[in-house]
Amino acid sequence: MKAEETPSESAEKTPSRYRIEALAKGLDVLRLFDESVTSLKLRDISERTGIPMPTAFRVVATLEEGGYLERLADGAIRPGVAVLLLGSAALRGSSLVQLSEQPLRHLAEESGETVNLGVLVGDQVLYLARLRNSDLVTANIQVGSTLPAAYTSMGKLLLAYLSDAELAAALAAHEFGTDAGPNAAASLDELRERLAVIREEGYSLQDQEVAAGLRSVSVPVFGRDASKPAAAINIAVSTQRHDLASLRGPILDRLRATADDISRLLRAT
C-alpha cells in the first residue's frame, strides 16, 4: 500500500501553476556548472538535464545571447560574465552581508588580519565576505569561493550544530584527505571528536587543516533563531604571525565581540 504523502511532499511534486517551463529549463542548465564542472558540450547538457537536443540548443543560444553562457573555440559552453555579475549582486544584496559589513571592516582594521563571513552549503563553506590581509597564504580565496567545511574553522563550527543525521548527510560525498592540510581530520569519526569539543567551547580552531602555514578561529553569528547559527565569522592568520594561544586569547575576544554586534543587528531586522 502506498504511504500517504504529506502536504509538503505533494507540493514538491506538483509544479506551480505559475511555472514558466522555458525559464525553468534555463535555470536547470545554469545549475550544471560549479567549481568542478566549468564547461560542457551541448550533448552533455542535454543528457544531464534531460532536455531534448533541439530545445537545449535554443535554451543555450538564448542564455548565450544574454551573456549568461559563452561558447569556447572547441564548441564547449561555460558560464558567461553576466552570471558572475548576478552572483556578485546577490551576495552584496544579502541582508546578512550588508549588516555584517561595518562590524567586519572594523574588526579587520583593529586586528590587522584577514576576516571572513561564511555559511554552510552542503559539505562546503561559501565565503560571503572577505577582508584580506595581503600576506595571507590563501590568496586564491575570494567572495563566492568555497572550501571543504570539514577542514575550515567556519565549516567545522557550523557542522558542530548539526544533528548526527544532518552531519552524515552533509558529508556523504566528502572524501577525507582530499585537498587538505597536514592536520586535517582523516575520517568522519575523527571529525566528530573535534566537533564535540567545538560544541563545548563555543568556538572553532583550524590549525593547518586547510593548508600548511594557515590558522584561523571562528565563532557563530545568530539571527532570531538562537538554536542554530545564521553564519560564522573568522579571523585567519599566518602561523608565522600567531600561535594557537593568541587565537584563543585577544583575537577570540575581538571576534566574539564582533559576532555579538552582528547578531544584534540580525535580530533587529
| Superfamily in which the 94-268 domain is placed by CATH | GAF domain (3.30.450.40)
Residue 123 per-residue DSSP state: T
18-86 and 94-268 share one fold: no
Between CA 223 and CA 161 the distance in angstroms is 14
pLDDT digits (tens, 9 = 90+) for 35-51: 678 889 999 999 999 99
- 18: its cell numbers: 505559475
Long-range contacts, stretch 91-95, CB < 8 angstroms, 24+ apart: 91/128, 91/129, 91/143, 91/144, 94/128, 95/266, 95/269
> CA 182, CA 193: separation in Å to the nearest integer?
18
Question: d(Cα 79, Cα 214) in Å, to the nearest integer?
Answer: 31
The three cell numbers locating residue 198: 567545538
Please name the amino acid found at residue 4: E
CA distance 125 to 242: 23
Classify domain 18-86 by CATH number. 1.10.10.10
Residue 37's pLDDT is 83
**Are the C-beta atoms of 251 and 241 separated by less than 8 Å?**
no
Which single residue is written with the C-alpha cell 575523527? 190
Looking at residue 219, what is its pLDDT?
Answer: 98
Boundaries of every domain in the chain: 18-86, 94-268
Using a cut of 0.75, tell me whether the model's pTM lies above it: no
Sequence-distant (≥ 6) Cβ neighbours of residue 165 within 8 angstroms = none
Q: Taking the C-alpha atoms of 206, 211, 212 and 217 in order, what is their torsion angle to the nearest 10 degrees?
A: -20
Average pLDDT by stretches of 10, the chain with 269 residues: 41 67 91 82 95 95 91 88 64 76 94 92 88 66 86 97 92 87 94 96 95 94 91 93 92 96 92
Q: Report pLDDT for 51.
A: 96
Q: What is the DSSP letter of 22?
A: H
**Residue 30 has which C-alpha cell?**
545554469
CA distances from 79 to 1, 15, 34, 88, 123 (A): 46, 27, 9, 14, 23
